[in-house]
Structure 1
Amino acid sequence: MSYFVHESSYIDENVSIGAGTKVWHFSHVQKGAQIGEKCSLGQNVNISNNVKIGKGVKIQNNVAVYEGVELEDYVFCGPSMVFTNDLTPRSKYPKGNEGYRKTLIKYGASIGANATIVCGNTIGRWAMIASGAVVTKDVPDYALMAGVPAKQIGWVCECGMVLKNELKCNECDREYMLKGRELKEKAE
């Protein structure tokens, strides 16, 4: 086996797990899930049926990634953050997977501890969601989101540092520019 699974965890049949991935204590990866290389699934993580997870993804303790959610490469999910997959759930009237709304977390995005991502939204590349935020709409690339409901309070660099007005990172020297309402890295 080219990946590690702690003895307390369960991996269902028909699952794909990439080389170098680690699945820690009390976790469950359900049927049809696809997990890329070099991922880390913390304690008490549930990956539901047919979920797609890219490479280099880190999912911290107590996170459930429900069917209908897709995580691209290098996404970070903080401890106890929440995904939803049904906007109007009723125990008496279950919709099943046909009623799930798709949620896409794009390349390199980070979601802080205890944040909630309401289904049907896309989190842009390298976006950063603050701890405790509740995302109720699409998030642009590089956006820094905070609050309930989450509002954009700034921009972040690919390296994770908050960008100041000049849109140049003081940590890694990347430079950005606004094109309309989108932030783009300046071409070399």
Structure 2
Amino acid sequence: MSYQAHPTAIVDDGARVGDGTRIWHWTHVSAGAEIGADCSLGQNVYVGGKAVVGRGVKIQNNVSIYDSVTLADDVFCGPSVVFTNVVNPRGHVSRKHAYRPTTVGRGASLGANATIVCGHSIGEYAMIGAGAVVTRDVPAYALMVGVPARRVGWVCRCGEKLPAGDAPRCADCGSGYRIEAGQCHFQETDPA
């Protein structure tokens, strides 16, 4: 098996693209980029040569994954998500040596038009609301909204908001969690 690319897509020699990945209209994957298996890259997506995209990642239309951005397995990037890689850009000053890494943990979801300022990490299964601007690290399972993004709750691996409390259980899938010292930890799945 191999990947599929629309005739208008450009996949440079030296890019590594996993089996089963689909690359749609007007997308550019640069030489050196790493894209895992079973991904979907929508229309007008750009992937830089030093970007890493894990397995099963969904990248919607108009998203640029610049150098120094790493997306773990099963990440979802909504339409027009913005990543940066320099905190103080100037058109007349080259800052390629100053790229700051950004990592997005397994299963995290980034809503449409969210902006992720470089140099931060987003924890696994976190959910960033549409239009939010992430300016600091985000803990696992955090539900973040606003400008700048702030935590307004916790979310389950299945994407549902968790009820308040120190030991919430997802009403949808039954998964259990433990909230401790400002962090959310997966506990178990309800055997019922």
For the criterion TM > 0.5, the same-fold answer is yes
Deviates more, 1:99-108 or 1:165-174: 165-174
Paired residues, number? 187
Partner of 1:95: 95
Q: Which residue of 2 aligns with 1:159?
A: 158
Distance 1:58 1:117 in 2: 17
- SS at 2:118 equivalent: coil
Task: Give the alignment of 1:44-83 within 5 angstroms.
Answer: 44-83=44-83
Give the C-alpha shift of residue 187 in structure 1.
4.4
* Match in the other structure for 1:148: 147
Residue of structure 1 in register with 2:106 after alignment: 107
Deviation at 1:181, TM superposition (A): 1.4
User: Which ranges in structure 2 are unaligned for 5 or more consecutive residues?
Assistant: none
Counterpart-to-counterpart distance in 1, 2:188 and 2:13: 45
SS of equivalent to 1:175? strand
Q: Equivalent residue for 1:8?
A: 8
SS in 2 for 1:160: coil
Shift of residue 63, structure 1, vs aligned partner: 0.2
- Give, in whole Å, the separation in 2 of the partners of 1:86 and 1:53: 19
Q: Deviations over 1:54-82 (max 9, x none)?
A: 00000000000000100000000000010
Amino acid at match of 1:186: Q
User: Where does structure 1 differ by over 4 angstroms across 4 or more consecutive aligned residues?
Assistant: none
Supply the distance in 2 between the matched residues of 1:7 and 1:17 (Cα, whole angstroms). 16
Q: Could you tell me how far 1:179 is from its partner in structure 2? A: 2.1
Any unmatched runs of 5+ in structure 1? Answer: none
In the aligned structure 1, how far is the partner of 2:126 from the partner of 2:43? 25
Deviations 1:97-146 (A, max 9, x none): x2100000010000000000000000000000000000000000000000
Q: Aligned residues: percent identity?
A: 50
Q: Is the 8 A contact 2:15 2:49 kept in 1?
A: no
Over the residues paired in the alignment, what is the CA RMSD in angstroms?
Answer: 1.0
Q: Give the structure-1-normalised TM-score.
A: 0.97
In structure 1, C-alpha distance between the alignment counterparts of 2:132 and 2:50, rounded to whole Å: 26
Say if 2:175 and 2:188, in contact at 8 Å, map to a contact too. no
C-alpha distance in structure 2 between counterparts of 1:142 and 1:185, whole Å: 9
Q: TM-score normalised to the size of structure 2?
A: 0.95
Match of 1:175 in 2: 176
In 1: Cα distance, 2:4 partner to 2:174 partner: 37
Between the aligned partners of 2:68 and 2:178, the Cα distance in structure 1 is 33
Q: Shift of the alpha carbon at 1:94?
A: 1.2
What is the alpha-carbon distance in structure 1 between the residues aligned to residue 23 and residue 188 of structure 2?
Answer: 38
C-alpha contact (below 8 Å) 2:51/2:67 kept by paired residues: yes
Q: Supply the AA of the counterpart residue of 2:90.
A: R
